[in-house]
Amino acid sequence: MTVDTVWQRGYKGSGRQISRSLVGMHRIGVLSDTHLPDTTEAAAFLRHVAEQYLQRVEMILHAGDVVAPAVLAAFAPCPVFAVRGNMDAAAPELAHKRVMQVGGVNIGLIHGWGAPEGLVNRVRREFADTALDCLVFGHSHEPVCRHEGGLLLFNPGSATDRRNMPHESVGMLEIDGGRVNGRIILLDG
């Protein structure tokens, strides 16, 4: 598991550690299941999503099924933390799961696997030994934003493949005073 530590200003040390102050509001853009190839069009689409729906975020979390990790450069200079999904090839920048701390909040990040039924239980078990405040996952393409026993379960859905959902979507996490809240953002057709 990759653990990303949080301190005060920007990147600190290796590319796996980031720093964010414990004071003030933190906004984190969240995507999953984008399934995008490494093309100019895919990068342009992600830039549009960032500019239109994820303004003023400190970082981006991607919960897997990126397909071509190079497209995540479209979010530069904003740091991106991603995990490997079932459609992703093994790559050093795509860990199986991550834990990061932002504004005093512990966030777990994983893709997920298997049928949609039971997905939440499977991803929760992956972090059974870790105290989390928020668990971000993907795989189902179905948006989830709900609190269960002090844990925010958050799946942003998919920005590119809504499957049986009425809209494509992304998400936003807002952290303030050691508390995390999420919201699903529906993309215009």
The count of other CB atoms within 10 Å of the CB of residue 165 is: 15
Question: The whole model's pTM is what?
Answer: 0.89
Specify whether domain 2-186 bears CATH 3.60.21.10: yes
Please spell the DSSP secondary structure of 161-189, one letter per residue. --TTSSS-EEEEEEEETTEEEEEEEEPP-
pLDDT of residue 17: 40
| Each residue's pLDDT tens digit, 58-98 | 999 999 999 999 999 999 999 999 999 999 999 988 999 99
